[in-house]
Each structure stands twice: as C-alpha cells, then as structure tokens.
Chain A
Amino acid sequence: MIAVDERGYYGEFGGAYIPEMLWPNVQELRENYLKFMAEPDFQREFQSLLRDFVGRPTPLYLAKRLSEHFGVTIYLKREDLCHTGAHKINNTVGQILMAKRLGKTRIIAETGAGQHGVATATVCALMGLECIVYMGEVDIERQAPNVARMKMLGAEVRPATSGSKTLKDATNEAIRDWINNPVDTHYIIGSVVGPHPYPDMVARFQSVISEEIKWQLEEHTGKDYPDAVIACVGGGSNAAGAFYHFLNDTRVRLIAVEAAGEGIHSGKSAATSVLGTKGVIHGSRTLLMQTADGQIVEPHSISAGLDYPGIGPLHAHLISSGRAEAICFFFFESLEAALFLSRQEGIIPALETAHALSALRVMKYNPTDVLVLCLSGRGDKDLNTYMKHL
C-alpha cells in the first residue's frame, strides 16, 4: 500500500526537515489541509473552478498517428489544454482556496519553467491577492514569455541570484521569504517537493489527472486502467497526479522520465533517480544530487522545469521500491520527440513533456497495450529553444 503516513513519510522518504522558523507555518497547514479539503464548500468551489476556470476535464486523446508509428495504443492526457497551458494550475487553484481559508493575504511561489509562476499569478489575480514569484536569473532569461505573462497578471517576479540561479535557488529564496513573513503569507509550492504536507497536498490536488484518466479510459476502451502511465519528472507534480489513482494498482506500470541533460555522467544532467543519493533538500528526505560531502550539486537540463537536483519523496519511494520505472533522456532526444509530436499530431509540447515522449522509443510494451502519456504542458514558452535547434 503506497500512502503517506502522518509524519509525511512514504517509506523512508519525506518528513519535514525545516528550521524552527518555518515550523508554525508548516504545522498550521499540516493541521488544516485534509480538513479543508474534505469540506463540501471547499470541494464545491474547487470543482467549479476546475471546470469553469481551468477547463476540466481535459481530453484524453487517442493519438492515432503516434500509435501507428509505435505500434501500440497511445492516449495523450491533454493537460496542455488547461488554462495557462499546463497542469500546474490544478494545484494553484487548490492552494489559493487553502490560503484564503487560512486567512493569508500574500502569496509567494517559486518557478522553474515559469508555468507554476504563471499559474500562481493567475489564481492570485482571480482572488485579488498579492503575488511574488521567485525565479532563477537563468530561467528568467530562457523563459522570457512566461515572465511577461506573470508581469501582465500583476505578479512581482524576483530573481534568485545565488547558486546555479535556477529552480533550486528560486525555492531557497521563496523559503527564506516565508521565514521572514510567517504570519500573512502562504507559500504555494508548485511540485510534490518540500516539507510535509506539501508533497501529499500537491499530489492530491493534481490527482484529478488520474481520476479523469480512469473514467475517460473506461469510456474509450471499456477498461478503467491503462497498461502504463508515462510522465516526466522534475520535482514530479504531473507524474504524481497521473500516477495517483494507480499507485496501488500493480496492473499499471508507472514510468517516470527524467532529463539526462547532456548525458547522465556528463556533469550536466538532472537525472536524480540515477545520480541521486539519500539526503535532505527543501525540507524533505529524498533522493538528490549531491557531493560525497553533502553539498547539493547544481543540475543541468535544457528544460527549466526538470532542472532540479531533487525529486519528490513519493517518487523517490516509487523508484527505489521498484514500483515505478525511471528512464532518462538526452536533451536532443527530447527535441526530436517534440518535433515529431508537432508534425505527427499537430501538438507542440513543452520541453518537459517532450522528455516523456522520448520514453516511447525505448520502453518495452506489447502491441496490445494501452499507454497513457501525460502531456503536461504546451510548448509556446519553448519556441525559442526549439527554433535554435530546428
């Protein structure tokens, strides 16, 4: 049985390794998140926002030409059709309702690719709350369109200038902001990382993805489970959502795809499941990339959303227990995959999603299998990168 325990552990991974300064905030959230989520009022508001604002349910699309090409049935879960262009908004809608119930007036977030930043800025605009998004300086440059969208939505984008100037450092800065503003601020973490209860809370908000896959697949095929679910993993939020209702269904293979960057052992990689060892990052005991002396290594991926040296504790548990299979890809493989999907199916995927697509080329399957691939986001933000390599 794969589930989080009351201390926030999945097996040996998880917990809340936070400085005392964060304790009251995290404790407040821990005591309330399940209670709030169970309230009928909360659910009504959450579901109606998902339907009318986010545009759910998102289609489960039978990708015919992709299926023909690979000789297997492939469904794409179209999270790219969510408002703002990625699955990230499922979680921010949930967390903004949580923040309102906790009486918070100021929202902070970290972002890598900018999708979570945009999704946070969007819900803050919707609810009229102040919004500050921390983003690595490097990412601000490579994800310029999303920076512009955040500004358009009224959010303040603050550059993180320490370390590798990417997602890890943006997360450090957001945590520091929260330490400095413990009373009025809610921190919307964008992935299934961070101290308990974040990994569990974010997974629950994202679990709508697999909930829909189940009934949509039943409509399409008469079976409410696929043979495999494929999703890309940086921190792992879309994967957590796509896996959630299949975690304990061993008929379903779970395939987590990571970014190998320029090669797993090239020194420029974000393949945490291969390179990672047990440690603590951003408040959670998990697998992370680090030196023998316990210094966190700066990761590298062409995709800002996968450029993270850790992995959510749920995924660390799934991978190390063998429940999920981890695969990683070179960046040029994902570029090819992006081009392929664009020209075969008329869908331009985000770079992160393109990594998941690459898995189709190497994973083993039977021709009769039904695969579901979580198409986590659209590729508009990555057009610059695509054009450079086209």
Chain B
Amino acid sequence: MWVAQQSQSVFGVPLGTQHGLFWIKNTHITSLKGLQKTLRYALSYPNFAPKGLLHPGFRWRTLKHSIMNRIEQLFQRKDKNVLNIYFTAGYPGLNDTEDIILSLEKAGVDLVEVGMPYSDPLADGPTIQESGTAALENGMTLQLLFEQLAAVRKKTEMPLIMMGYFNQVMQYGEKAFFEKVAEVGVDGLILPDLPLFEYENHYKDLAESLGLAVSFLITPQTEPERIRKIDDLTHGFIYIVSSSSITGAKSGITDTQLAYFNRINDMQLKNKRLIGFGISDHETFETACQYANGAIIGSAYIKALKNNPNVAECTAEFVTAILLDRH
C-alpha cells in the first residue's frame, strides 16, 4: 500500500529536507516491504547508502508519513474528473470482488470503494441495503473479503477504500481491523457512523501510523467550524454528501446544491473533495466535477449490476456511459 514519495508534502509533512528521503524518492519502492528491504540494504551496505539515511536524526515515523498512499498519489496525478465507484462486496456473486475491481480499472475508474455488506446500513437507501442483504446471503464475511482484497492487490495498483459500519469494526477488533485493512493493501476507509470525536481520540493515531486515508462526510447542514475540523482529520478526500439524504434517494442537482458546493469551494480546504449521493449518470457526474475534484457513484452501479450480472460487460457499459468523452 505504500508508494514512494513523489510530491512536496504528504499528510502536511513538508518533504525534501529529511535525511535520505531524496534517495528513497528516486528508487522505485511500491510497498512497505520494499521500503523495509531498501532500508535493510542500506544498513548492510552503509557505504553505498546515501548520506543521511542512517543519520541518527533520521526518524522512521517521519519517513512513514512522508510516503504517500495510493489515494493521495492519485490526487497528485489527477485532480479533476476523478471517478470513484462503490460496490457491495459479495454482490451480485460472492466471488465477484476481483472481477468488479479489475473491470472498473479497465473501464477507466480512478478509485474503488468496496462496501462491507451490513445487516443494518443506516446511511444507505434500499438499493445498497438489498445488495448487502444479498451479499450476506451469498456468504460474504469480513474475513473472506480481506482474502479477496489481498488477492486483488497483487493484480492492480488501483486505490481501494473500504466502506462499512462501525459495529463490524468493533466485532473484528478495532486495532486488528485497521491493521488488517493496511495489510491487505487497502488505502482508505469510510466508516460513516464512527463519530469524529471517537475517531480523534481512539483511532486517528493508529490510522495515521498505518498510512490509511480515512475520509469523513460533510452535508449541507454541516457548520463551517465542523467542516474545518473534518478537513483537519481527513486524509485522502472529503466526501461531500450532495443533499440531505440516504444513498440513492434523489437524482439530479438543484441550484441550492450548487450554492452549497460553491460555499464549500470558497472555504479552500486542504483536502480534495468528491461529491456523492444522487450522482447516477453522465450529466450529474459532469456537474459534480465542475464543483469538486470528482464524484462517487454507488446505487446507480448496483442497479446496473442487478440488471446485468455479467460484471465485465455491465461495468464497461456503465462506466463508458458515465465518462463519455472524458477518457
């Protein structure tokens, strides 16, 4: 999940000044293991290691933070028209996870949000709930999903985010869950019912030390002060909930929503922003992209999969229709 640094700052830590980082920057390290290997090499052959890497002032933690995960790397490369697609793991078929992710990548999607199916998804509408129920009936478990994602990670560098509800995390064990997420090569997390306060006090340090980008949501009702706080705590991107609704509820974008998007833009937040909820077709995607760095589509894709469970074919058609001339 770690990729060598290519930018000037990550997680707010300015780069270029730390000892040894320049050297690391110019090697092709794509994983934490790779990084460890490089450091081991440096320790074994100190004469060949760049000056500074083995300097007593070198801090492992700083180095970890200065390496960017795939989500941040994506936004370095591309900060317009970013397309993030959500799907529920285990739907339509139990073992479709890999097919879906690879098909989405092939079709030109930038980021994939993997839904952990849940019995009581409060923030989601009927489409996503039904897909979750079906996935659970198919036999999806968190353990199986982790196995599937670890296998997918060997085949793609696509940034991956897991989305689920906090009860699932609690049962897995919070610390074990965060560590497992990082271990299988997932880059980010969205846990809509994990309160900011709890995150900040109990899980923030853990997530950051693992290099996980945790995204939070803001809605039309979120007050500016709280938006600032969310911006502070977020790594990766902020999830702009387009309207006061559950997922899949409304379609189309109104003037009130545009005013809200403008209001957020005027705040000059440090994080990139993706708009979600109610984005379902080319037109809504285009509009969202004019007001943010990109958009998130969930229910519409699940509906498409429901109508055509042939994953490769359905995904190619769906994404093409969303992007049209974009790629």
Which residues of A are interface residues toward B (Cβ below 8 A)? 7, 15-21, 23-24, 162-163, 168, 172, 175-176, 179-183, 277-283, 288, 290, 292-296
> Does B260 sit within 8 A of A, measured CB to CB?
no
Residue B318 at the chain A interface, CB threshold 8 Å? no
Residue of A nearest to B125 (CB): A176
Given known A180-B245, A281-B167, A295-B119, contact A24–B217 (CB-CB < 8 A)? no
- The 8 Å CB contact of B168, one of A172, A278, A293, is A293
Q: Across the A-B interface, give the 9 residue pairs with the lowest CB-CB distance, nearest first.
A: A294-B171, A294-B168, A24-B221, A19-B123, A20-B217, A295-B119, A19-B192, A280-B167, A296-B119
Q: How far is the CB of B172 from the nearest CB of chain A, in Å?
A: 7
A23, A280, A294 — which one has the most chain B CB atoms within 10 A of its CB?
Answer: A294
| A259 → chain B closest CB, angstroms | 20
Contact yes or no, B167 A290, CB < 8 A? yes
The A-contacting residues of B in range 31-57, CB under 8 angstroms, are: none
Which residues of B are interface residues toward A (Cβ below 8 A)? 118-120, 122-123, 125-126, 129, 133, 136, 141-143, 165-172, 192-195, 197-198, 216-219, 221-223, 226, 241, 244-246, 249
A183 to B245, CA, bound (A): 12
B119, B129, B246: the one within 8 Å of A180 (CB): B246
CA of A279 to CA of B122 in the docked complex: distance in angstroms?
A: 15
Report the bound CA distance from A175 to B165 in whole Å: 15
Q: In the complex, are the beta carbons of A295 and B217 less than 8 A apart? A: no
A295 to B136, CA, bound (A): 9
Residues of B within 8 A of A163 (CB): 119-120, 133
Contacts of A23 in B (CB 8 A): 219, 221-222, 226
Q: Given the interface contacts A17-B195, A21-B219, A293-B142, does A182 sit within 8 Å of B244 by beta carbon?
A: yes
- Which of these, A172, A179, A293, A295, contacts B245 with CB under 8 Å? A179
Residue in contact with A181 in the complex, picked from B119, B172, B244, CB distance below 8 Å: B244
Q: A318 to B131, alpha carbons, bound, how many Å?
A: 37
Instruction: Tell me the bound Cα distance from A294 to B172 in angstroms.
Output: 8
Which residues of A are found within 8 Å of B246, using beta-carbon distances? 21, 176, 179-180
List of A residues within 8 angstroms of B122 by Cβ = 18-19, 172, 175-176, 179, 282-283
Closest beta carbon of chain A to B149's beta carbon, Å:
16
Give min CB distance, A244 to chain B, whole Å. Answer: 26
Question: A17–B194 contact, CB under 8 A?
Answer: yes
B219 touches A292 (CB 8 A): no
Cα–Cα, bound, A274→B120 (Å): 22
User: Are B223 and A20 in contact, with the CB atoms below 8 A?
Assistant: no
B226: chain A residues at CB < 8 Å are: 23
* Contact assessment for A280 and B222 in the assembled complex, using a CB-CB cutoff below 8 Å: no
| Most chain A beta-carbon contacts within 10 A, residue among B120, B223, B226, B245 | B120
Q: Is the CB of B193 within 8 A of A280?
A: yes
Q: How far is the CB of B131 from chain A (nearest CB, A)?
A: 12
Q: Cβ of A162: which chain B residues have Cβ within 8 Å of it?
A: 126, 129, 133
| Contact A180-B193, Cβ < 8 Å, known A162-B129, A163-B119, A279-B171 | no
B244 touches A15 (CB 8 A): no
| Chain A residues whose CB sits within 8 angstroms of the CB of B244 once the complex forms | 21, 179-183
Q: Which residue of B lies closest to A25 (CB)?
A: B221
A selection of 19 A-B contacts at a CB cut-off of 8 Å is: A7-B197, A15-B195, A16-B195, A17-B195, A19-B122, A19-B217, A20-B218, A21-B244, A21-B246, A163-B120, A179-B245, A279-B171, A280-B166, A283-B122, A293-B142, A294-B167, A295-B118, A295-B136, A296-B167
- B contact residues around A175 at 8 Å (CB): 122
The residue in A18, A168, A290, A293 that gathers the most chain B C-beta atoms within 10 A of its C-beta is A293
> Using Cβ atoms and an 8 Å threshold, which residues of chain B touch A168?
120
Question: CA of A181 to CA of B141 in the docked complex: distance in angstroms?
Answer: 33
A181→B220 CA distance, assembly (Å):
12
Given contacts A179-B246, A294-B165, 13 further A-B contacts (CB under 8 A): A17-B198, A19-B192, A20-B216, A21-B219, A21-B241, A21-B244, A21-B245, A24-B219, A24-B222, A162-B126, A163-B133, A290-B171, A296-B120
Return B275 CB to nearest CB of chain A, in Å.
14
Closest residue of chain B to A17 (Cβ to Cβ) is B193
A359 to B217, CA, bound (A): 47
CB distance from A164 to the nearest CB of B (A): 10
Of B129, B141, B216, B223, which one neighbours A24 at CB under 8 angstroms? B223
List, in ascending order, chain A residues with CB within 8 A of B168's CB: 293-295
Task: Return the chain A residue nearest B120 by Cβ.
Answer: A296
